[in-house]
Amino acid sequence: MQRPRFRHRLATAPGDVISVFRYTHRALTLVWQTSRVMMLGLALATLVAGVLPAVVAWVGQLIVDGVVEAMAAYDGDPATLPTVLSPVLSLVVAEGALIALMALAQRILDAQQSLLRAQLGQKVNVMLLEKAGELSLSQFEDSEIYDQLTRARREASTRPLSLVTRTFALLQNAISLTGFSVLLVQFSPWALLIIVIGALPVFASEARFSGDAFRLFRWRSPQMREQRYLETLLAREDSIKEVKLYALEPIFLTRYRAIFDTLYGEERRLTLRRTLWGFVLGLLGTLTFYAAYGWVVFETIIGALTLGQMTMYLLVFKQSQGALSASLAAVSGMIDDNLYLSNLYEFLEQPTERETGTLTEGKTPGDGLRFEHISFAYPGGEQVLEDISLHLAPGQSLALVGENGSGKTTLIKLLTRLYQPSHGRILLDGSDLRDWDTRVLRQRVGVIFQDFVRYQFSVGENLGVGDTRAFEDESRWQHAARRGLADGFIERLPSGYHTQLGRWFKNGQELSGGQWQKIALSRAWMREDADILVLDEPTAAMDAAAEAAVFNRFREHSRDRTSILISHRFSTVRNADMIVVMDHGRIIEQGSHDALMATRGRYAELFELQAAGYR
């Protein structure tokens, strides 16, 4: 399979370098909102951990000079030993205590970070899921938005904390550096310059490569998604049956490997370049350090520095170099985090369509449902519904028939406002669906789609999802199950309504296709307030006796409700008050069974065909 190659350095506008920090403030706010106490704790521990190294270096100098002085003062008389020793020893104790304090500050920092990481990960994931809930169905079906969501879920939950940690690391190292600079400047201001010059090239190359790494991450996210999908196919119980029977593993695995090979190739190229440049430019740092080393040694030999000062300056040189490169690494890490956060915020800022109106009641209650010249095309797709007009009075039953793909389910998606018509309008009780409060609207409509969800929950909860207010109400479950004719088999299950369904969790019980459909039907019956019931091929998996029983029960309970039934079985369709025959998105015939049979059109033809099949 030919796959596009990633080209490094796609586009970096000059403004990017500054704008790259635009999310730092937001990340800080996010962490602040998550836990003020911990953020303050982090700041304090950072300050302590930042100041201490310079103090330790200074005490170190005092110790060495103290030792030299004590050596000179000690005249061999053991009686004077305590007086000579005690100042130096107390300095040693002080340094030990400082080191212990530093270790404590570091531990506290680590502990706070790991707790904050957990809290923030959860917070960002909830933000992402809440946002996902606000997206419209067409946004969900947009592969770019889906990519953004996947990328954000994979990376972004750890990035806000990482950004904050790095901001603090930068502060900590900047504080240490200031301390070191105070000491170093006394030696020579040039020494400072040498250190800065040594560190800059590595930083520049790191910043550049992290930009490249991010662009690579973005570029490959569709392929990563494809890989995840193949993993799902190969490792999940609902697909593994077919994969095994058709012996698909080799094909899927080959594809899986091919994707990896392309991605890995790009990653290797980048890693190699990054390592090579990191090493070469890092040598510059080592070089400057040893130049400074030579200089300090020289100054000590000619007597300009004491031995204590030499030890201190060498330590300070080493540590300031460390602190500087840690600061620069923090900055380049911050650039990195900002890039990944840009992805998170791009997703969170995706405009969502205003989904809801305010109406809770129509202008002319009792008018029922009206489709007026409805046309519709899925985003980026062709027209699938054309000029559909229909009126359905309360209590009437409608059956939709037509070939596969003729637009029946799409019509229901428009009725439930999962999509908006491209032209025309749908009225409920005289008011446009767009003006209805979607929550009220959806409470009035009970729908079971062909591809209803088989939740890996208990039986009762699988019914309860039909009405969130009665999600855990066992008597309502039982009532709904009786209407959907599911009560019989549910009561025979090991734990009745509390039996876990599906195979993902412990003691899960799998149901047959027909049993699942009865669960779905009962779920629709949970909607007691719904005055419009829609069943999209609800009985395709049931045996003939079960189907007949379901429809008798359905008619009995839906007498005062409007019902819409989609079915390919004409025996169930014939009893509807009105039958609508669809073809390529248009209505080609409509009327009662008898009227349609009398006109001897498409309906009559299809009905005869099915009837002949049963004879």
Ligand X SMILES: Nc1ncnc2c1ncn2[C@@H]1O[C@H](COP(=O)(O)OP(=O)(O)OP(=O)(O)O)[C@@H](O)[C@H]1O
Beta-carbon contacts of residue 24 (< 8 Å; ≥ 6 apart): 163, 167, 334, 338
Please state the closest distance from residue 413 (CB atom) to ligand X, in A. Answer: 7
Q: Which is nearer to ligand X, 371 or 497 (CB)?
A: 371
- Of 44, 106, 141, 222, the one binding ligand X by CB under 6 A: 141
Residues 339 and 344: their CA atoms lie apart, in Å, by 9
Q: Which is nearer to ligand X, 62 or 377 (CB)?
A: 377
Region from 20-28, 39-47, 283-291, 406-414 binding ligand X, contact rule CB under 6 A:
406-414
User: What mask of x and - would describe binding to ligand X in positions 43 to 82, judged by CB under 6 A?
Assistant: ----------------------------------------
Pure H helices in 302-393 = 307-348
Please state the closest distance from residue 409 (CB atom) to ligand X, in A. Answer: 3
**How many chain residues bind ligand X (CB under 6 A)?**
12
The yes or no reply on residue 135 touching ligand X (CB under 6 A) is: no
Contact call for residues 458 and 449 (beta carbons, < 8 A):
no
Contact call for residues 551 and 539 (beta carbons, < 8 A):
yes
Q: Which is nearer to ligand X, 336 or 537 (CB)?
A: 537
Q: Which is nearer to ligand X, 15 or 381 (CB)?
A: 381
Please state the closest distance from residue 403 (CB atom) to ligand X, in A. Answer: 7
Beta-carbon contacts of residue 334 (< 8 Å; ≥ 6 apart): 21, 24, 163, 166, 167, 170
The yes or no reply on residue 507 touching ligand X (CB under 6 A) is: no
Contact call for residues 278 and 202 (beta carbons, < 8 A):
yes
Amino acid at residue number 484:
G
The yes or no reply on residue 384 touching ligand X (CB under 6 A) is: yes
The yes or no reply on residue 406 touching ligand X (CB under 6 A) is: yes
Question: First and final CA of the chain: distance in angstroms?
Answer: 51
Q: What are phi and psi of 487, to 5 degrees?
A: -60, -35
Residues 199 and 196: their CA atoms lie apart, in Å, by 5
Scanning the structure block, which residue is given the tokens 């059109």? Answer: 601
- Of 167, 321, 397, 410, the one binding ligand X by CB under 6 A: 410
The yes or no reply on residue 527 touching ligand X (CB under 6 A) is: no
The yes or no reply on residue 402 touching ligand X (CB under 6 A) is: yes
What angle do the packed helices 36-73 and 24-34 form, to 10 degrees?
100
Q: Which is nearer to ligand X, 31 or 388 (CB)?
A: 388
Q: Which is nearer to ligand X, 173 or 567 (CB)?
A: 567
Region from 107-115, 405-413, 491-499, 552-560 binding ligand X, contact rule CB under 6 A:
405-413
The yes or no reply on residue 484 touching ligand X (CB under 6 A) is: no
Beta-carbon contacts of residue 18 (< 8 Å; ≥ 6 apart): none
- Tokens representing residue 337 in the block: 């985090």
Please state the closest distance from residue 129 (CB atom) to ligand X, in A. Answer: 22
- Of 14, 78, 366, 404, the one binding ligand X by CB under 6 A: 404
User: What mask of x and - would describe binding to ligand X in positions 354 to 383, judged by CB under 6 A?
Assistant: ------------------------x--x--
Please state the closest distance from residue 37 (CB atom) to ligand X, in A. Answer: 47
Nearest CA among 259, 213, 219, 222 for reference residue 147:
222
The yes or no reply on residue 409 touching ligand X (CB under 6 A) is: yes
Region from 272-280, 364-372, 401-409, 604-612 binding ligand X, contact rule CB under 6 A:
401-409
Residues 194 and 174: their CA atoms lie apart, in Å, by 17
The yes or no reply on residue 405 touching ligand X (CB under 6 A) is: yes
Please state the closest distance from residue 15 (CB atom) to ligand X, in A. Answer: 38
The yes or no reply on residue 218 touching ligand X (CB under 6 A) is: no
Please state the closest distance from residue 136 (CB atom) to ligand X, in A. Answer: 12
C-alpha neighbours within 13 Å on the C-beta side of residue 34: 26
Q: What are phi and psi of 390, to 5 degrees?
A: -155, 150
Describe the chain by its helix, strand, coil percentages, rounded to 5.
65, 10, 25
What angle do the packed helices 143-151 and 307-348 form, to 10 degrees?
150
Q: Which is nearer to ligand X, 45 or 388 (CB)?
A: 388
Q: DSSP 3-state assignment of 450? A: coil
Binding site for ligand X (CB under 6 A): 141, 378, 381, 384, 402, 404-410
